[in-house]
A and B are shown apart, each in its own frame.
Chain A
Amino acid sequence: MEEGQVLHIKYKDHVPIQKRFESIVRIIVDMIEDGMRDQAVRQKAIAIVNAANVRGHDELGEIRAITKWVQTHMVYRKEPVGVEYFHTARRLLRDIDNGSSAGDCDDFVILGGSLLGSLGYPVGALIVDSSGDGTFNHVMLVTKTFTTTREFGDNWIPVELIYPEFELGQSVPISKVYPLMADAQAIRAPVTRKTISGLGNVQVTKSLKPGVRKKSNFGEMLSKHPLAKLFRGK
């Protein structure tokens, strides 16, 4: 993936905020999937946990180290009304290194999810209703450990990245959540290679069900299978 990639989406005025967040969370998850496969991101994640003196197999220690690093190194900046910018994890890391970090909650989730995902943790975007009016208006990260821990058991852990004083599992008061998990095995072109020029071209799933999205290239795989050639008489 090239450095310095930024997606820019402008929503029309009539697009409801709920629809915006549904499309936003899908793009975030795609960008997390791209980031967690980026070798530069993994190198950074390893450097962060090593610098925090986290021992091997200390899963909560790794999650805490990455969370704290993102909370304290990324700078929260609001975006223009009606416009969404999405930065690749590599771009966000570069901006931090250059002292020009700026991102809103979805950028925090892209970076935190990419770093934790590159270390093998299951991650996803958690869109939440923090205003209590039934509308999704904020994005958090969600992850979990593989081994059961005394603190969280084997439960999913919401991670608030935009406030440095928030610990794992803490959030602002939330009345509704919708998680969408990243799939490390998803096969597709990187998001930054796609053309996205507005909500009309952004894929939005109407029925929201939690879980890993199924992305299948089964038809293409089947057509290339030797048996298929045999059936076609080749």
Chain B
Amino acid sequence: MKIPKDDSAYKLLQVPGYSRMGSSSLPGNEFWGTLISVAAVGVLTVTLFTRYY
């Protein structure tokens, strides 16, 4: 039996929504990790500054 074949899966993968698939983007957990880390450093800096100066 001959198995039918075409390029339909290939064509379906060419829609724009899949173009950035697999590449990491900042607005995810990394975004919140960076934001919270920066905020933590800021709070620590202010705390130490007001305590020792």
Binding site for B on A (CB under 8 A): 122, 124, 126, 128, 140, 142, 144, 155-158, 160, 163, 165-166, 169-177, 179, 181, 210-212, 214, 216, 218, 222, 227, 230-231
Question: Given A171-B8, A181-B22, A214–B28 Cβ distance below 8 Å?
Answer: yes
- Whether the pair B21, A210 counts as a contact (CB closer than 8 A) is yes
Question: Is B3 positioned at the interface, with any CB of A under 8 Å from its CB?
Answer: yes
A78 CB → nearest B CB, Å: 16
Specify which chain B residues have a CB less than 8 angstroms from the CB of A227 in the assembled complex: 40-41, 44
Q: How far is the CA of A106 from the CA of B44 in the complex (A)?
A: 50
When each residue 14-39 of chain B gets 1 if its CB lies under 8 Å from chain A and 0 otherwise, what string results?
10011011111000110011001000
A57 CB → nearest B CB, Å: 20
Number of A-B contacts (CB under 8 A): 83
- Whether the pair B4, A169 counts as a contact (CB closer than 8 A) is no
A17 CB → nearest B CB, Å: 19
- Whether the pair B18, A179 counts as a contact (CB closer than 8 A) is yes
Q: In this complex, what residue of A is CB-closest to B24? A: A212
Q: Which single member of A124, A126, A173, A231 contacts B22 (CB below 8 Å)?
A: A124
B32 CB → nearest A CB, Å: 7
Specify which chain A residues have a CB less than 8 angstroms from the CB of B5 in the assembled complex: 160, 163, 165-166, 170-172
A120 CB → nearest B CB, Å: 12
- Whether the pair A222, B13 counts as a contact (CB closer than 8 A) is no
Q: Which single member of B6, B12, B20, B44 contacts A170 (CB below 8 Å)?
A: B6
Specify which chain A residues have a CB less than 8 angstroms from the CB of B40 in the assembled complex: 227
- Whether the pair A181, B21 counts as a contact (CB closer than 8 A) is yes
